[in-house]
Structure 1
Amino acid sequence: MARFTDRSIVVTGAGSGIGRAAALLFAAEGGRVVVADRTEGADETAAQIAAAGGTARAIRIDAGDEDDVIRAIALARDAFGGLDVMFANAGISGGMANIFDTDVALITEVLRVNLVGPFLAIKHAAPHIAERGGGAIVLTASVAGIRSGAGSPAYSASKAGVINLAAVAAQQLSGSNVRVNALCPGLTETGMTQPVFDYARDVGKEDRIGRLNPLRRGAQPEELAKVALFLASDDASYVNGQVIAVDGGLSSSHPVTRQEYGKTAV
């Protein structure tokens, strides 16, 4: 099923992880993809798409820089005739420092990329998507933005902002037929989290990865990308202003003593 045939799509942070997985899937379903990233991974993703028979253009951008975001959208318009979907996925972690060890420069940079970036994506993509009769904007937030315990103060605050931004944007785009939703990944094996996965495997504790969620495992980027594609597709034509957690069930509960399947809780 080619849900994105001849549709023009921009994916930020597409050089690796969830962004790369989404760009590959968009292209596999007929989409024409602008692969945007600040690293050479953008070129690698575009090459993978081309090798699979898809259509892509790579561009190096800083997703938190207004001129760069405008350039990526302009490339979509010039190369593919317009814009139908924006997947504002780029983000940085900002480390794991607590509030008292986080300096202003760090939190400012995290907010610039993780929150200002999606803001710029909405601001500059929405008018062009509306021109085409409507479409979708998907923002990558995080379960860390839903409640505490899944990220640093800087990262968590930035992702909480993305969640609210999706709701506000959906309202302010009333009548445009442009939908805006936020995707909230749980622990996913990407470049950002790779050290966690690698360490667990090296010390023989891979079974502890994701142990706090009911599925008791981490996610692969493709699992998140498939949900992003759903939100961007006509299958989600009545889904707007929503926050979709894709976290193995982690955010379905406050921390409790887990009841083992088939056993009585102690």
Structure 2
Amino acid sequence: MMRFEGKSIIVTGAGSGIGRAAAKLFAAEGGRVICADKTEGAAETADIVTAAGGKAVATQIDAGVESDVERTVALAVEKFGGIDIMFANAGISGGLANILDTSVELLTEVLRVNLVGPFLAIKHAAPKIVERGGGAIVLTASVAGIRSGAGSPAYSASKAGVINLAQVAAQQLSGSNVRVNAVCPGLTETGMTKPTFDYARDAGKMDRVGRLNPLRRAGQPEELAEVVAFLASDAASYVNGQAIAVDGGLSSSHPVTRQEYGKTAV
């Protein structure tokens, strides 16, 4: 399939994980991608895309700084003539502190990157997408934004905000032919979660990673990228203002004593 033939696409947080996987998939299906990240991983991703025969341009940005986002949008217009798709994926974890141990400074920084970043992406990309006749914006939220138990207070609050932002933006862009949706990953192996996975491997406990969801495993960036690509494609032309959980089924249930397959519950 070439779902994104000739499309101009911005991916923030493209330096690793879900962002890199999405950039590769967009480009493999004909998209022209601006790979934006705060790290040098942006250039690495662009090099990977280019080596595979795709089209990509790298830029280093802070997704929570308005001038950086404006510059990235201008780059897409300069290099590819406009914008058709914005994937606002950049984010930070904010650690594991509980509410009583979370400083205002930490909360503010997490919100700046994780919530202000997607807000800026919508604010500056949407008008350019409208100029092209419409398109799609996809935001990376999290299952932590759906309910408690999957992240720190700062991270969870920021991702809940992203879900609501997608809903509000979908409504306020009514009639523009710009769709806005959020993807909500469960535990996925990315640059942000690397310490967790490295610890599990070193301790010989990989069998415990992701064990709380019905699939009993963590997700891979490529699996999330497939859902992002669907939401960005014409196949999702009637999907708007939604938050799609991609979490192995984790968010489908409240905490329970799980019944093991083939065994009687106790």
* Cα separation, 1, equivalents of 2:195 and 2:105: 24
Q: 1:2 Cα shift?
A: 0.5
* Cα separation, 1, equivalents of 2:82 and 2:199: 44
List structure 1 runs of 4+ shifted beyond 3 angstroms.
none
1:62-97 per-residue CA deviation (whole Å, 9 max, x = no partner) reads 000000001111111000011000000000001000
1:34-57 per-residue CA deviation (whole Å, 9 max, x = no partner) reads 000011000000000110000000
* Cα separation, 2, equivalents of 1:135 and 1:49: 22
Secondary structure of 2:10 counterpart = strand
Q: 1:132 Cα shift?
A: 0.6
Secondary structure of 1:138 counterpart = strand
Q: 1:258 Cα shift?
A: 0.7
1:166 aligns with 2:180: no
Secondary structure of 2:110 counterpart = helix
Structure 1 partner of 2:34: 34
Aligned pairs for 1:37-56 (under 5 A) are 37-56=37-56
* Cα separation, 2, equivalents of 1:215 and 1:241: 27
Structure 2 partner of 1:102: 102
Structure 1 partner of 2:3: 3
Structure 2 partner of 1:225: 225
* Cα separation, 2, equivalents of 1:126 and 1:194: 32
* Cα separation, 2, equivalents of 1:183 and 1:170: 14
Q: 1:152 Cα shift?
A: 0.4
1:158-199 per-residue CA deviation (whole Å, 9 max, x = no partner) reads 000000000000000000000000000000001111111111
Alignment: residue pair count? 266
Structure 1 partner of 2:142: 142
Secondary structure of 1:5 counterpart = coil
1:121 aligns with 2:121: yes
* Cα separation, 1, equivalents of 2:241 and 2:254: 24
Specify the code of the residue in structure 2 equivalent to 1:23: A
* Cα separation, 2, equivalents of 1:146 and 1:19: 21
Structure 2 partner of 1:64: 64
Specify the code of the residue in structure 1 equivalent to 2:164: N
Give the alignment's TM-score, normalised by structure 1.
Answer: 0.99
* Cα separation, 2, equivalents of 1:262 and 1:21: 36
1:239 aligns with 2:239: yes
Specify the code of the residue in structure 1 equivalent to 2:132: R
Structure 2 partner of 1:191: 191
Q: 1:26 Cα shift?
A: 0.3
Residue identity over aligned pairs, in percent, reads: 82
* Cα separation, 2, equivalents of 1:46 and 1:204: 34
- C-alpha root-mean-square deviation of aligned residues, in Å? 0.5
Q: 1:249 Cα shift?
A: 0.2
Specify the code of the residue in structure 2 equivalent to 1:161: G
Give 5+ residue unaligned stretches, structure 1: none
Q: 1:204 Cα shift?
A: 1.3
1:101-120 per-residue CA deviation (whole Å, 9 max, x = no partner) reads 11111100000000000000
Secondary structure of 2:48 counterpart = helix
Give 5+ residue unaligned stretches, structure 2: none
Segment drifting more, 189-198 vs 81-90: 189-198
Specify the code of the residue in structure 1 equivalent to 2:203: V
Specify the code of the residue in structure 2 equivalent to 1:209: V
Structure 2 partner of 1:12: 12
* Cα separation, 1, equivalents of 2:210 and 2:113: 26
Give the alignment's TM-score, normalised by structure 2.
Answer: 0.99
